[in-house]
Chain A
Amino acid sequence: MSKTLKGITLKGSAELVAEFFSFGINSILYQRGIYPAETFTRVTQYDMSLQLTTDAKLKNYLTNVISQLKEWLFDCTVQKLVVVITCLETNEVLERWQFDLECDKTAKEGSAPREKSIKAIQEEIRSVIRQITATVTFLPLLETACAFDLLIYTDKDLEVPEQWEESGPQLIDQSEEVRLRSFTTTIHKVNSMVAYKRTNST
């Protein structure tokens, strides 16, 4: 960890945000039942117990995406990260967990670290993850088999690396949106929101 004890550098902020995404995405997958609960194991992070997957393929995929995302966070070229949950039978998008990223471009490699304690940032992250867990209570049930995908919104002129390709935004037809909490490291600000398909019964 390159976060200095005195403040937050650009690299440290990128690592904090990437770590949050790693645990956040795992939480979403566990809470929504995309993967069976027995494939998850309990770990302690941010002073709370979270679920982390043990499936090797899934782990591999997540580390690929998160490591690439960390690079882009360092370059301040990423704008959003979206977890898209699709029903496999009907190929419809049922849920979209969207995380908007605002990067302070004045913080470059060599600039002075910003004054914010890591504990405060972790406190904010904890409240965000708790809220994600709480929102599951009012989201409609995912009854059919579902799969997920991670989309990243970047600047238009970014060079697309190998193994990545352009895709559509995979929007929900007739969606309800809910804004969740946000947290900031003073260099990166993450706004969370969830959009879900309106069910006709409600």
Chain B
Amino acid sequence: MDDMEDDTTIFSTLKSFKSLISCPDRSLLETEPAFGRSGLQNLYTKRVELEEAAERVRSHTNLLQLTQEKQQMELSHKRARIELEKEANSSSRDLQREIDRNRELLLQIRRLEEREEKANQALNEQMENNKALKRNFEELHKKANEKDSKLAEADQMISELKDETRRLNQQIQIQESKFSTQNLEIQALQEQLDVQRKYEFTHTQMYTIFLIPSNKCICTLERRLALQEQDSVIVKNMKSEVARLPELEREIKRLREENTFLRETKENNSLLREETEGLRRKLERMERAMEEKLKVEKPEDLSREVIQIQQRELNLKQQNYTLNSSIRSVEKARTELMPEIAQLRAKAQEEQKKRENQDSLVRRLQKRVLLLTKERDGMRAILESYDSELATSEYSPQLMLRVKEAEDMLQKVQTHNTEMEKLHCIVFVFLRQKIEELESERQQLEEQNNILEMRLERHNLQGGYDPVTTKVIHLQMNPTSIAKQQRTEEVEQLRVECQRLRDRLRKIEAGGGMTTDDTTLIIPPSQEILDLRKQMESAELKNQRLKEVFQKKIQEFRTACYVLTGYQIDITVENQYRLTSVYAEHMEDSLLFKSTGPVGSMQLLETDFSRTLTGLVDLHLFHQKSIPVFLSAVTIELFSRQTVT
């Protein structure tokens, strides 16, 4: 379309040019005869001018043609470029696809290789398993053969053993028959035994019957013996008492003699006392009499003294009488005691006689007991002899023995019991003490146990374990070890890079900007960077192309405007437009318009050129208020100025 438009412009300009050429020719021709030579010169100049214009137009057209060709060329260029880029993109995409396919194929190849290796390994393992199984089979076969041979041997043994068992069974049967015959014999003998036992039993019963009364006699005799012993004891006591009697009699005699003596002395004493008293009184009286010689010896006094003496005599007599009565009573008592003594003596004698009798009885009884015991021993001996005569079954002495043994055992057991009870008590006390000790120990141990359990629980919570019973395992390829490995590898890589960079720096500083190949760090550009670079380049290309296109379009538009309207519109400052006319006489002649407001209204600004056009400004802008009319008026004015002059 651009080409067509370009062609139309070219053609239109050619037509206009031709029209121009034709018109001025007519105008020139028409004006020729009026001017003459000046007209010829004018014609000549006009022709020259026209030729120049024609040349200009031709050059213009050439220019236009060239520009058109150029545009066409550029368009074709663009198309070629676009196509090339598309091809390049597609080829790059194909490349990438093929690279990816390559990679995938390589991966597949690797996988297949790994599978092959695994299959080979499996094959090898299977072969080994096969061989092992074959070996096992052979071993098992051998074992089976051995077992068969062993079985055959065992069968032989079994047959031999069966023969032996048969022989043994026969022997057993023979012995059983013997045993049965012997049992029969035994039974016969036992019956004989029973008969004999019965005979013995009756014998022993007889003997026991004999023995029982003798035993009874023995018992009664023993009782009598006991009584007699008691009596003998009593008799002894009585003897001792009786032996004291003569001594008692002697003592009585002595006591009586003493008694008489004492009485005599007493009497004498009393007589003497009386005499003394009488004498004293006499003395006193005499003394009194002597003293009281002066005193009138009264017959009263004498009578009194005589009365007193008589009273004394009476008293003395009374005393005498009483003493005599007491003597008589004592003599009576003595006479009474005398028969009692005689009686006691008689009793003592009787008792002596009794004792003597009893002693004799005792001696007799002892003799009898001896005799009886001798008889009993004799009987026992006879019985034992009878038992020994029978002599097959000694069961009664055996029973006695057993009884004795049982009694011995009983005694032993009883002593043992008592000992054990004593031990028990001691042991009881000891055990109580032990129990208390153990209880205290137990409590301590429980506390320790609790503490240890708490420690164990803590240990368990923290993750400890008993190495004897448990072990801790994990996978060799676990995330922590892998992460640690990666870390160490990264660290190594970073160290190596660091070292390289340091070397490079040193060389750069030393060499002053020389970067040789061995120190350059070939950082392999990653895929992203390459893509981004490509994107950047494509974006820059797009930008450039857009700029070029915009420039061209603007240029075209401006030239079109210039050509069509006859004004070159430049934007000098924001919102200010400078218009320069095609027919401007001087380069500086321009009109300035300012845009006021968003709608698009313009205002004319004062310029030198606009001052020369004040008439037009007044007419078209102030009165008619139309900028396009003003502008066209200005072009007409300028055009007319140019063409006229």
- A residues in contact (CB < 8 Å) with B: 58, 61, 64-65, 79-80, 82, 84, 86, 88, 91, 96, 98, 100, 145, 147-156, 158, 160, 163-172, 175, 177, 179, 193, 195
Contacts and interface: CB of A to CB of B under 8 A. Distances in A.
Contacts of A154: 470-473
B480 A86 contact: yes
6 contacts: A88-B484, A96-B463, A149-B478, A151-B473, A154-B472, A165-B473
A167 B458 CA distance: 21
A171 B479 contact: no
A154 B480 CA distance: 21
Contact of B475 (A84, A150, A158): A150
Contact of A172 (B462, B481, B487): B462
Contacts of B469: 155-156
B464 A156 contact: no
A170 B482 CA distance: 17
Contacts of B464: 169, 171
Nearest to B466: A156
B461 interface: yes
Contacts of A147: 479-480, 482-484
A152 B482 CA distance: 18
- Listed from nearest, the 10 A-B pairs whose CB atoms lie closest are A147-B483, A149-B480, A177-B461, A147-B480, A149-B478, A164-B473, A167-B474, A151-B474, A153-B470, A147-B479
B572 interface: no
A149 B472 contact: no
B476 interface: yes
Nearest to B483: A147
A137 B483 CA distance: 27
Contacts of A170: 463
Nearest to B473: A164
B190 to A, nearest CB: 63
B477 interface: yes
Contacts of A88: 483-484, 487
B468 interface: yes
Contacts of A65: 475
Contacts of A149: 474, 478-481
Contact of A156 (B458, B468, B482, B484): B468
B465 interface: yes
A61 B463 contact: no
Contact of A61 (B471, B479, B484, B487): B479
A111 B29 CA distance: 135
Instruction: Find the residue from B468, B472, B487 having the highest chain A CB count within 10 A.
Output: B472
A84 B480 contact: yes
B474 A150 contact: yes
A180 to B, nearest CB: 11
Contacts of A156: 467-471
Given A154-B470, A155-B470, A165-B473, A195 B461 contact: yes
Contact of B461 (A148, A166, A193): A193
B475 A179 contact: no
A85 to B, nearest CB: 9
Given A61-B478, A152-B472, A156-B467, 17 more contacts: A64-B475, A80-B463, A88-B484, A98-B461, A98-B463, A147-B479, A148-B479, A149-B481, A152-B473, A153-B465, A154-B471, A155-B470, A156-B469, A156-B470, A166-B472, A170-B463, A195-B463
